[in-house]
Structure 1
């Protein structure tokens, strides 16, 4: 959550400045409008589908969507590129955050859920908080465009961590993250 939060923070803080620096005729507000619509739309379908296909698959999709959004921003030079990046960013937010929260609920007892949610979301919030000073510093040396490449690297690292460490073993983690296996830590699966 820390890695993704840092990347999300970089997008939310610097995308409008980056758009302006590219001189593409696109308002940063539209980026967030499209992202919000994308996020809302995918949540309508992802919640029910995750009950059927598993949380891991949708968390993987969400982190991959955040990675794609940053890669697209890194390469963006047109209105369409910014729009597609916004859609990917919204898909990431609409699936990853809600599915991580649901997975935490699956993995915790009712009396400990508040504490578990707080710890989980604190990592995300801390990432957002440190994004401005870290990526502000980075952008001074490499520019906004290349800063998004570094941001994509963080979300890709988060994806690798989830793919390999989300369950009891590497094999089980991969199976869970790709929707091919159960969550061994879910209280519904513990005898």
Structure 2
């Protein structure tokens, strides 16, 4: 019976059932983590948080808090990815990260100062650094070359379902609070902020349980343990100036900066468009919604027609989609611009991870793919800082800057990255 269920999952999604289980676990923690993207700016602006601001404007404080997470997350990812390669273990590092994520989510209940928020967000960044490169490396090792794009697409789709749903739900929960909770004869009043932090904690614990029960490390991962993996900046084949994995990391960095400039200026966006937090949540989620719909089909298509065309044209499309966000004047137009940016991101995410996975030597998936996941985290860190600083020069400025980076990324992909699939690697139909 169990074997037939696994075969059904494999046939439906064309991936190893453990990829599906890991993706669903990341869906759970994605819901909780995305709550914080919307809630933290509102929490900073509320009367709950007090203390010294050291002369910084609220938008800059929000940018620092959001950026610190991405900065520490990114700095730690190469180490956690390399450790998981050397020890031939992915699962244990994922569990360590999820446990830390649950603890830090719960800690927000006791944070009433800017300094406390900074400290908790820093610890959260380190915790997530144990999850991201190891889980992506695990997906890479569970996928055959001709199925890698589809596997990355399924993983990202389910993870992003959680990340996309979170902001809409979080905005509604905060707006509808406080809540009266009955506990037998006793009663408890929870603010909207407190309820979101509790939900985020529960989501991380659900993910922890799923990984603990459903995930196992591949035998070949354990067999390849003990090496000293590393990444060179120059192309080891001597065909290009840069290592194609490094180039993909730079393109990912530029793309993510463009994504991340939106969230920290929530208050400025709402004021410019005359809208509330619910509209902003929908606009934030529009980017993710496009990827939810497109990640798996694009990933699977990259297994058939190649990785590079999707990555290149995704970076090209990112330029006008990002710039448009700085010039639109209605909530509906902003929603469409975010959808366009989401389509571009979907064309880059799964094919980019798959191409890097194609290039990863045996037993070095954690080290190789941490270049891309680290770049993603750095983009999350840099984007809010860029946004918080440049928005003072004009609303369009941070978006124009990010669009310029996307154009540079397109040039790098066009000149430094070659296709990794040949005819023998391309996937075929399940029945074929």
TM range (shorter): 0.7 to 0.9
Other structure's SS at 1:183 match: coil
Deviation, structure 1 residue 50: 1.0
TM-score norm. by structure 2 comes to: 0.37
Q: Over residues 27-58 of structure 1, what are the superposed CA-to-partner deviations in whole Å (9 max), with x where a residue is unaligned? A: 11111232222111111320221112211111
1:50 corresponds to 2:50 = no
The 5 A counterparts of 1:1-191 are 1-14=252-265, 16-25=266-275, 27-141=279-393, 143-167=394-418, 182-183=419-420
CA contact (8 A) 2:273 2:331 kept: no
Counterpart-to-counterpart distance in 2, 1:17 and 1:106: 42
Specify the structure having the higher radius of gyration (Cα): 2
Counterpart position of 1:171: none
Counterpart position of 1:174: none
Q: Over residues 113-166 of structure 1, what are the superposed CA-to-partner deviations in whole Å (9 max), with x where a residue is unaligned? A: 11111122111211221222233212222x222221111111111111111111
Relative to structure 1, the CA distance from residue 12 to residue 101 in structure 2 (aligned partners, 3 Å threshold; closer, same or farther) is: farther
Deviation, structure 1 residue 18: 4.0
Counterpart-to-counterpart distance in 2, 1:134 and 1:22: 19
RMSD: 2.3
Other structure's SS at 1:60 match: helix
Relative to structure 1, the CA distance from residue 63 to residue 11 in structure 2 (aligned partners, 3 Å threshold; closer, same or farther) is: farther
Deviation, structure 1 residue 25: 4.0
**More RCO (CA 8 Å, sep 6+):** 1
Counterpart-to-counterpart distance in 1, 2:267 and 2:299: 34
CA contact (8 A) 1:7 1:128 kept: no
Deviation beyond 6 Å, 4+ runs, structure 1: none
Deviation, structure 1 residue 24: 4.1
Q: Give ranges in structure 2 of 5+ residues lacking alignment.
A: 1-251, 426-432
Write 1 or 2 for the structure with the bigger share of helix: 1
